[in-house]
Chains A and B, each alone.
Chain A
Amino acid sequence: MNCEQVREQLDDYLGCYLDEADRQAVEHHAETCVSCRADMKDLKNLLAQARQLSPGVPPAQNLWPAILEQIEDSPAKSWSYANRSWLALAAVLALAVLLIPLLLRQQARQPGEQVTVAITDSMAIDAATQAKVDLARSEDRVLLVRRDLVEAIEIRRDLLGPEASQSVEESLLVLDQAVADIQQALEENPDDRRLRLLLAAKYQHEVRLLQRVSRV
């Protein structure tokens, strides 16, 4: 390689784009050519400076309030219960229909008892009926189930490891928020059947979570 060829290859050399033969040719030339060696050193210095630039530059002002305003005002749509696609809504409804009877049957069991539940056609039919049950009645039953499970968890408290603890915490926070959101929505739209079913499903999630922890 001559000087012109080496200078054309320097960028690729430093970017590790050359194959082994070309890489060795560039290095061999640079060992014997003061000018090309100086060029290579210059370029290496530039790249070293570039690498030393901090990747992060804090903006002069806090941009979060303006961002929050935008994301609260508009297309958090995909997260809004009211704006879920029909498919997601159908899934939620199906879930709620299946879970409500489990929820109600759970109440009849002894505290901390482990139960394997098979979802059958008759249960689905039963669920369709139960979906019409007054929400307040369901809430009362959920509270009873939850109370017993919490008692069972309390007994096993020392056995809970950090992973289970974290799982419980995250899930409870999400569920609490979801329940609060739905309850608020229900206050505004008390006759919205979808919201009622959704709330029932969230209660059931909560029970399942506590049930899982109670088995630790």
Chain B
Amino acid sequence: MRELVTSAGLLVDFSDFLGAVERQPMSEADLVRDAQRGDTAAFEELYRQHVARIYGLCLRMCANPAKAEDLTQEAFIRAWRKLGSFRRQSSFRTWLHRLTVNLVLGDLRSTGRWESRLTAIDSLPERGDGGAGAQPETTFDLERAISQLPPQARMVFVLHDIEGYKHREIASLCNLAVGTSKAHLHRARKQLREVLKR
């Protein structure tokens, strides 16, 4: 296709023309459209653009790196299978984010960890335990403290205070009353403040 012989017998070289176009990065809308047509290369590019955010979300929501990897993988597989239903009424990022939240919530419910009891603050590891040494101490402490929150409080805190969801949205996603979502957030914030003060 890049070199074709015209009816006048001339060799038409399209390399420059198409090569220049190839160097232009594709927009997200283009990638989504191509992925919807079955282009796994386009979907791989979408994966590369979003994997860190999706993994970060999974990690904070389930507080388990291995589980977070499994859920991230499953989120992208599920996204691929459902791409046909993505109608671009929201951004791909928002759509993928919600799909992931629902996936993690479903996993927590199915494994019974959603209703687990409040972790006693006294049982939390002392400051400085664990890895991630390259992170600033306050950030590391906060990440560690979040991971020790009870599942529902952690979920609401992550969605509300990190991901920017509103209580109404969280209530809808998690099948909670708005008041319950607020109560979980209050408990999470209180526990985090106490831990970080130590």
CB-based contact A58/B37 at 8 Å: no
Across the interface, which residues of A come within 8 angstroms of B80, CB to CB?
A: 67, 71, 75-76
Interface members, chain A 23-69 (any B CB < 8 Å) = 42-43, 46-47, 49-61, 63-64, 66-68
Interface-located stretch among B45-53, B108-116, B117-125:
B45-53
- What is the CB-to-nearest-CB distance from A45 to chain B, in angstroms, rounded to a whole number? 9
| CB-CB contacts below 8 Å: B142-191 with A | 142-143, 157, 160-163, 166-167, 182, 185-186, 189
A174 touches B5 (CB 8 A): no
What chain B residues lie within 8 Å of A2 (beta carbons)?
none
Interface size in chain A (residues, C-beta < 8 A) = 54
Decide yes or no whether A126 CB sits under 8 A from chain B. no
In the complex, the answer to whether B1 meets A53 with C-beta atoms within 8 Å is no
Q: Does the CB pair A49–B139 fall under 8 Å?
A: yes
Bits for B73-100, please: 1 = Cβ < 8 Å to A, else 0: 1001100110110000000000000000
A79 and B12 form a contact (CB under 8 A): no
Q: A59 and B69: CB pair below 8 A?
A: yes
B30-A169 in contact (CB<8A): no
Interface string of A58-99 (1 = CB under 8 A from B): 111101101110111001111110000000000000000000
In Å, the complex CA distance between A177 and B34 comes to 11
Confirm or deny: A132 has a beta carbon within 8 angstroms of a beta carbon on chain B.
no
Q: B63 contacts the other chain (Cβ, under 8 Å)?
A: no
A12 and B81 alpha carbons, distance in the complex (Å): 39
Contact partner, A12, options B138, B182, B192, Cβ 8 Å:
B182
Give which listed residue, B6, B51, B196, contacts A59 with CB less than 8 A.
Answer: B51
Is A102 interfacial (CB-CB < 8 Å)? no
**B8–A57 touching, CB < 8 Å:** no
Chain B positions 17-53 with a Cβ under 8 Å from a chain A Cβ:
17-18, 20-22, 24, 26, 30, 34, 36-40, 43-44, 47-48, 51-53
CB–CB B52/A63 < 8 A? no
| With known contacts A49-B138, A172-B18, A111–B7 Cβ distance under 8 A | yes
What CA separation (Å) do A58 and B17 show in the bound complex?
Answer: 36
Q: Is B104 an interface residue (CB 8 A)?
A: no
Task: Report the nearest B residue to A176, measured CB to CB.
Answer: B1
Asked if A166 is an interface residue, CB under 8 A from chain B, the answer is yes
Tell me if A170 counts as interface (CB < 8 A to partner B): yes
- Chain B: minimal CB distance from A149 (Å): 10
Contact A63 B76, CB 8 Å, known A50-B162, A53-B143:
yes
Interface assignment of A123: CB less than 8 Å from any CB of chain B: no
| Pairwise interchain contact A17-B37, C-beta atoms closer than 8 A | no
Contact A177 to B39, CB < 8 A, known contacts A11-B189, A57-B52: yes
CB neighbours of A75 from chain B (8 A): 80-81
The answer for the CA separation of A54 and B163 in the assembled complex, in Å, is 10
Identify the interface centre among B1, B59, B142: most chain A CB within 10 Å of its CB: B1
Contact A165 B47 (CB under 8 A): no
Contacts A46-B192, A52-B139, A165-B21 given; does A58 touch B52 at CB 8 Å: yes
| Residues in B lying within 8 Å of A, measured CB to CB | 1, 4-8, 10, 12, 14, 17-18, 20-22, 24, 26, 30, 34, 36-40, 43-44, 47-48, 51-53, 55-57, 59, 65, 68-69, 72-73, 76-77, 80-81, 83-84, 138-139, 142-143, 157, 160-163, 166-167, 182, 185-186, 189, 192-193, 196
Q: Can you name 16 A-B residue pairings with CB atoms under 8 Å?
A: A11-B182, A49-B138, A49-B142, A49-B196, A51-B161, A53-B142, A53-B162, A55-B162, A56-B56, A66-B73, A67-B76, A77-B81, A147-B7, A162-B21, A174-B39, A177-B39
Question: When A and B form their complex, which 8 residue pairs have the shortest distance between CB atoms, in order from nearest?
Answer: A79-B38, A56-B52, A57-B56, A151-B6, A169-B21, A50-B161, A78-B84, A59-B55
